[in-house]
Amino acid sequence: MISVQQAITQIRAAISSLPDVTIPIEAAPGRVLAEPISAGQDLPSLDNSGMDGIAVVAADTSSASPEQPVILPLVGSIPAGTNPEKPLKPGQAIQIMTGAPVPPGADAVIPVEQTNLDYSQPVTDQEVHIFAAAKPGDNIREKGGYYSKGDMLIPVGQVIRPQDVGLFATVGKAQVKVIRQPRVGLLSTGDELTPPGQPLEPGKIWDSNAYMLAALLEKSGAQVHRTGIIPDEREKIIEALDALAALPVDLLLTSGGVSMGAYDLVRQVMESEGTLDLWKVNMRPGKPLSFGTYRRIPFIGLPGNPVSAFVGYQIFVQEALRKMQGLPPAEVESIQATLTTPVSSDGRESYIPGKLTKQDGNWVVHPNQNPSSGNLYALIPGNSLIIVPVGVKFLNTNERVNVRLLD
Ligand code: AMP
Ligand code: MG
């Protein structure tokens, strides 16, 4: 049996990165940037005003105070979006709006609050009283002050956030190169499974994994292709895998059929029709995690127990998807917390559903009292997985544990 870390390393090593595609920037959030974003021009592109106010020659205002205002004639008004070419002469002032280019000759902007103007109206032919002195550069956003033409702004590999989308637009890009969305073929196997919405015969259960895994995949940014429920029959499993492989997909993900049971046919199919490169990881739940290839497509077989499938997804499938998108191993947010009740394990690296909260400024974690791998409900009240390290069989109340936060 190999360790969780070895399994992650092995899975990452076997998976290659996907090609890139060009998409509209509106579709980019959550995707991985595949081209560096650099500045095509200086920003600001021209000196412009940081305030609604008046543009002046700073030296003209040096004696201004509330008691002794400097009085200057206003020679016009500059809205944002215009390009004033006429120079401002010493002894003149001109109304200017936030973002409007500063006219040649002017070297400072006085905020409207430091004048006697009513700014609800454009003003012209009138004088302005200035109550405070300005220094050269005051309230002017300098050309190239944010960044210069050619500057590197966002590196390749950035997981695109709303502010990145805003910056694409700021530099004039309507489209951007990203890593193609991973396409994942998903199937759940088991003679006992019934789709939710249909009546349940005795001995059957509703298929939860297909829905949970599809939701997880979509949350990870993958495109999901599903088959219906596949019975524990060798030919049916092959048929379903072949249909998904033909789409094609970048990853095949199955639930169930990878344990030691007589009906665990997914593993047998992998052994005969594909490659089974990894089976059995020293973890709990989820030991029979399987990894290999089917028709040359990477394949991950998750155990059918829902908590095992969930944990296996968090730890392995997410890493496979990250590698496909050229991302480094996840820096999982792991928090040290105090146990509120004891937990036990069998010496495998264990992941126990828990609820992490803050009490008097300290992190505490409440382990779920029924953490059976079959009990998906154990994941509902909580927000995290308590990690019991390899070799540890018991941790008492008040002991410190590492907790992996689920989002
Ligand atoms: P298996 O890995 O196929 O041996 O399944 C292990 C356990 O998980 C069994 O109790 C199955 O009934 C249950 N199980 C398998 N697949 C699913 C599924 N898709 N949804 C809910 N439970 C499942
Ligand atoms: Mg089964």
278-314: pLDDT as tens digits: 999 999 999 999 999 999 999 999 999 999 999 999 9
Same domain assignment for residues 8 and 33: no
- Cα–ligand 2 centroid distance for 232 (angstroms): 7
Is residue 194 domain-shared with residue 106, that is, in the same domain?
no
Query: Does 275 fall in a domain?
Result: yes
229-260 pLDDT, tens digit each? 999 999 999 999 999 999 999 999 999 999 98
Residues 186, 80 share a domain: no
Shared domain for 123 and 272, answered yes or no, is no
Pocket test for ligand 1, best of 226, 255, 263, 287 (most atoms within 8 A of CB): 255
Q: Is the pLDDT of residue 186 over 90?
A: yes
The CATH number assigned to the domain holding 72 equals 2.170.190.11
Domain assignment present for 218: yes
Pocket test for ligand 1, best of 305, 308, 310, 372 (most atoms within 8 A of CB): 305
Report residue 124's pLDDT band, with 50, 70 and 90 as the boundaries. low
Number of Cβ within 10 Å of residue 272's Cβ equals 10
Looking at residue 391, its pLDDT comes to 97
The parent domain of residue 28 ranges over 20-43+159-179
pLDDT tops 90 at residue 119? no
Count how many residues are written for the chain: 407
Q: Residue 56 above 80 pLDDT?
A: yes
Q: What per-residue confidence (pLDDT) applies to 120?
A: 76
* 130 & 166 share domain: no
Whether residue 272 sits in one domain with residue 224: yes
Q: What is the CATH number of the domain that holds 357?
A: 2.40.340.10
Give 6-50 pLDDT, tens digit per residue: 999 999 999 999 999 999 999 999 999 999 999 999 999 999 999
Q: How many independent structural domains does the chain possess?
A: 4
Give residue 118's pLDDT band: very low, low, confident or very high (50, 70, 90): confident
50 in helix, strand or coil? coil
Residues 34 and 113 placed together within one structural domain of the fold: no
Are 173 and 194 contained in the same domain? no
Quote the DSSP letter at residue 377: G
381 token code pair = 């009240």
pLDDT, averaged across the chain: 96
Which H or E run includes 56? strand 53-56
Looking at the fold, whether 318 and 399 belong to one and the same domain comes out as: no
Tell which residue, 314, 263, 260, has the closest CA to residue 287: 260
Please give the backbone phi and psi of residue 230, each rounded to the nearest 5 degrees, phi first: -110, 125
192 lines ligand 1 (CB under 6 A): yes
* Separation between Cα atoms, residue 313 and residue 319, nearest integer Å: 9
Residue nearest to atom 23 of ligand 1 (CA): 304
